[in-house]
Amino acid sequence: MLLRLALAIGYLLPALLPAQASTVRGRVIDGSRSAPLDGAVVELQDAGGKRIGRVVTSPSGLFLLTAPAAGRYQVRALAIGYAGGLARAVEVPTSGVSLGDLTLMPAVRLLPDVHLVGNRKLCGAEVGKDPFVAKLLEAAKTSFEVADATIASGRRFTVELVSVRQVTTGRRVATRTDTTRESLARWPVESVEPDSLRIRGFVRPLAPIEARQGLTYHGPDAEVLFSPWFLESHCFQSLVLTSPPYLNAIDFLRCSKFSLVWMGYDVAAVRKIRGVSIDAEAASEEATNSPGVRATIGRLRLSPTLSNRNRELLAR
């Protein structure tokens, strides 16, 4: 009897024990220089494309990810100023796997020699049909992902945060600006969930206890800006500045809601983000019935740069 019980426990134990985690390691290099790439983002995804883990490469380009169990996964690497996002399917055994070097190539000059856009706006599904605008959107998304992953990894940055508060009383508008320097622990431009914005809009009425503070406006953060709903429901217009510093931009247009993303001429990286997404008519109508209107805009500068190249990520 005791022998049969022991055998039964022996058969059941493997099923009761959690699956052993497996490691995925490797190095990301710059293909043009065969040099390690610091600050690149490496992501581990399951077979369905869902993110399981994400890390930022060390100064030597190394990364280490942990898979919950042996199986088939996908590894994705991306970096600011580098073409696309390298994706590789990988079979991860229980003992773990070394991927060796993952090579990213620097992006070629972003702007074509001649690009005629005029004032034509691209809306919904048309956005992906314009290769130039699609390339700008992909570069902006990469910049946001790298910044978010870098901050989440625990790296600290010295930031300059400028808070602007505007209070409207009748026809009088008072503006107050406060500037502070601090160590960044999280991305300062945060929005509510995309589904909430889609249903309730960008203006949130305050609770009675907050009534004296006016209205709160939510500007789109990275998650909202690249959500299917936002991309499908907004129009886009690409602009090219012909004077220094030769930046190009994308306007996100929907009535009076807007957000402006500026891109570097040679390096496909976000330089600054301007604007808050609000419905000006609704805001002015509600402002007449409330003591004041408050809008807060954060201005952020990351230093040191996110990689070896001289890059900045500036949100305003």
Q: What is the DSSP letter of 316?
A: -
Which domain-ending residue is among 42, 76, 104?
Answer: 104
Please indicate, yes or no, whether residues 263 and 152 belong to a single structural domain of this protein. Answer: yes
Residue 142 pLDDT greater than 80, yes or no: no
Please indicate, yes or no, whether residues 159 and 302 belong to a single structural domain of this protein. Answer: yes
Tokens 């901050």 label which residue?
151
Structure tokens at 2: 């005791």
* Total domains in the fold of the chain: 2
Amino acid letter at 251?
Answer: D
Residue 99 pLDDT greater than 70, yes or no: yes
Higher confidence at residue 158 or residue 61?
61
Whether the bond into 304 is cis, omega within 30 of 0: yes
What CATH number should be reported for the domain holding residue 63?
2.60.40.10
Per-residue model confidence (pLDDT) at position 52: 92
Please indicate, yes or no, whether residues 308 and 177 belong to a single structural domain of this protein. Answer: yes
As a whole number of angstroms, the distance between CA 66 and CA 250 comes to 37
As a whole number of angstroms, the distance between CA 126 and CA 109 comes to 24
Please indicate, yes or no, whether residues 146 and 94 belong to a single structural domain of this protein. Answer: no
Amino acid letter at 211?
Answer: A
Considering only CA atoms, which of 139, 130, 128, 129 is closest in space to residue 231? 128
Question: Is-contact 78 41, C-beta < 8 A?
Answer: yes
Does 10 reside within a domain?
no
Tell me whether strands 300-301 and 314-315 are parallel, antiparallel or unpaired.
Answer: antiparallel
Higher confidence at residue 55 or residue 308?
55
Please indicate, yes or no, whether residues 99 and 231 belong to a single structural domain of this protein. Answer: no
Question: Is-contact 302 149, C-beta < 8 A?
Answer: no
Question: Is-contact 88 104, C-beta < 8 A?
Answer: no
Please indicate, yes or no, whether residues 134 and 193 belong to a single structural domain of this protein. Answer: yes
Does 47 reside within a domain?
yes
Element (DSSP H or E) covering residue 139: helix 131-152
Question: Is-contact 23 66, C-beta < 8 A?
Answer: yes
Question: Is-contact 81 309, C-beta < 8 A?
Answer: yes
Does 15 reside within a domain?
no
Residue 74 pLDDT greater than 80, yes or no: yes
Residue 186 pLDDT greater than 70, yes or no: no
Name, in order, each residue with C-beta under 8 angstroms of 30's C-beta and a sequence gap of 6 or more. 36, 37, 82, 103, 104, 106
Higher confidence at residue 18 or residue 221?
221
Q: What does pLDDT average to over the chain?
A: 61
Percent of the chain with pLDDT over 90: 18
Structure tokens at 212: 């004296």
Please indicate, yes or no, whether residues 273 and 306 belong to a single structural domain of this protein. Answer: yes
Per-residue model confidence (pLDDT) at position 68: 93
Does 112 reside within a domain?
no
Give SS3 for 84.
coil
Higher confidence at residue 58 or residue 241?
58
Please indicate, yes or no, whether residues 98 and 152 belong to a single structural domain of this protein. Answer: no
Please indicate, yes or no, whether residues 58 and 92 belong to a single structural domain of this protein. Answer: yes
What residues make up the domain containing 26? 20-104
Give this prediction's pTM.
Answer: 0.56
Does 4 reside within a domain?
no
As a whole number of angstroms, the distance between CA 198 and CA 210 comes to 23
Please indicate, yes or no, whether residues 54 and 138 belong to a single structural domain of this protein. Answer: no
Considering only CA atoms, which of 32, 112, 81, 30 is closest in space to residue 264? 81
Per-residue model confidence (pLDDT) at position 226: 66
Per-residue model confidence (pLDDT) at position 69: 92
Element (DSSP H or E) covering residue 2: helix 2-16
